[in-house]
Amino acid sequence: MQTCCLRRDFAERRLWRGRLPGERRGDGPRAARTHHVSFRWPVLRRPPGCAMTQDDRPRHISVLGREAVAFLAPRAGGVYVDATFGAGGYSRTILGAPGTRVIAIDRDRTAIAEGFDLVDRSDGRLTLVEDRFSNLAQVCADQGVPQVDGVVMDVGVSSMQLDRAERGFSFRNDGPLDMRMGQDGPSAADVVASASETDLANVIYIFGEERHSRAVARAIVKARGEAPITTTRALADIVSRVVRSKPGEIHPATRTFQALRIFVNEELDELQTALTASERVLKPGGRLVVVSFHSLEDRIVKNFIGARSKSGGGSRHLPVAAQAAPSFMSLTKRPVVADEAEIAANPRARSAKLRAAERTDAPAHAEDAAFGWPILANVMRGGRS
């Protein structure tokens, strides 16, 4: 299948429903859960003769890796899902426990290709799958293991993605305005070129928590009327003209770039769907461990574990007898954070928060209602204002 067909397939068949900020219930498309009809690549095997070299390009340093795997508590014979393979730091630690098997997922083809060496050295205990982690239940079923002993997610971007200019995530290194972790869907340049001013402002406000979102959106719409915005430097310059920062503060484009990255990769939808998928695939006693890097993600994880750990977490409108029994037991009353030594060695660890929970033997709860954030497919369908 060719990439262009996959893109079209993705655009036409991924149906997202939900309210936009400011819309009242019933105003927008029918509020419902997200439906994933995503494409799937086969499990990748290294092509014969393809030597992976350890080059000197940036590599990712795992954050809270020791703590995450300690919460996972891997045991011989156990099967674990590393839903965010990245540079393989978590997978490597899990495989360090004798007799474990790891199914590792990443939507980034480069991360998967760079993991082939580890597969070779894993004695058949590591399987790499290029996919979105929202599909983790299907990935496990495809591997013949519908139930697993643990799921770990270290969400967000890797240093390889952030620091390689050609991936288009960074305003520090000029590159194409791409920001896609995977190969599918619209790029940041596509969003900037075709989203309406209102949608751009909503995206930048909600996912970037940028106070000047309206001014940034206005500046983008004005600039794109003069010339297409296709590079990270061009976008950073446009934002810097309307958002000022004092010396010592973050770069003025930081929040806008974060917002576009989260939106383009549908990061919050992915996380929410993956949490409910984990609830379905974990065995009783199996562990869920999530490391997140900003408040929006941490709130989703905290609310999910909180709701699933409470008796009657199903719905307050149901009679007590019909309310769902807790499907998880929280293992972290407060989030675990990196210690000073880790932060000194890896400043990226500063914002990391780890939460963990253990699956009970209660059935999985009903799916959560849709959230109110902007939905990529809707915005791309909406066209320019």
Ligand X SMILES: C[S@@+](CC[C@H](N)C(=O)[O-])C[C@H]1O[C@@H](n2cnc3c(N)ncnc32)[C@H](O)[C@@H]1O
**Which residue ranges make up the site for ligand X (CB under 6 A)?**
60, 62, 65, 84, 86-90, 105-108, 111, 132-133, 154-156, 158, 181, 270
Q: Which is nearer to ligand X, 105 or 216 (CB)?
A: 105
Burial of 208 (0-12, 13-18, 19+ CB in 10 A): buried
Q: Which is nearer to ligand X, 199 or 270 (CB)?
A: 270
We find the least distance from the C-beta atom of residue 82 to ligand X, in angstroms, to be: 7
Residues pairing with 104 in the sheet: 82, 128
Half-sphere exposure of 34 (CA within 13 A, CB side): 26
Closest approach of Cβ 355 to ligand X, in Å? 15
CA 336, CA 320: separation in Å to the nearest integer?
33
How far is the CA of 89 from the CAs of 64, 84, 85, 267, 325, in angstroms? 10, 10, 8, 21, 35
In this complex, which beta carbon is closest to ligand X, that of residue 70 or of residue 215?
Answer: 70
Residue whose CB is less far from ligand X, 156 or 326 = 156
Amino acid residing at 320: V
Nearer to ligand X, 84 or 198 (CB): 84
Cα–Cα distance measured from residue 147 to residue 328, given in angstroms and rounded to the nearest whole number: 15
Q: Give CA–CA dist 155/169, Å, rounded.
A: 16
**Rg of the Cα atoms in the chain:** 21
Token readout for 123 is 């004695």
| Shorter beta-carbon distance to ligand X: residue 220 or 291 | 291
3-state helix, strand and coil shares in percent for the chain, rounded to the nearest 5: 40, 10, 45
Whole-number minimum distance, CB 307 to ligand X, in Å?
Answer: 21
Q: Helix 267-281 crosses helix 295-309 at what angle (to 10 degrees)?
A: 30
For the CB of residue 152, give the shortest distance to ligand X in the complex, in Å.
Answer: 8
Q: Which is nearer to ligand X, 18 or 65 (CB)?
A: 65
Rounded to a whole number of angstroms, the minimum distance from the CB of residue 135 to ligand X is: 8
State the minimum distance, in angstroms, from the CB of residue 102 to ligand X. Answer: 12
Whole-number minimum distance, CB 106 to ligand X, in Å? 5
Residue 239 vs 267, nearer CB to ligand X: 267
Cβ at position 318, least distance to ligand X in Å = 31
For tokens 């037991």, the residue is 329
Q: In what order do the strands lie in the sheet with 282-292?
A: 126-130, 101-106, 79-82, 148-154, 282-292, 353-359, 328-330
- Overall size of the chain counted in residues: 385
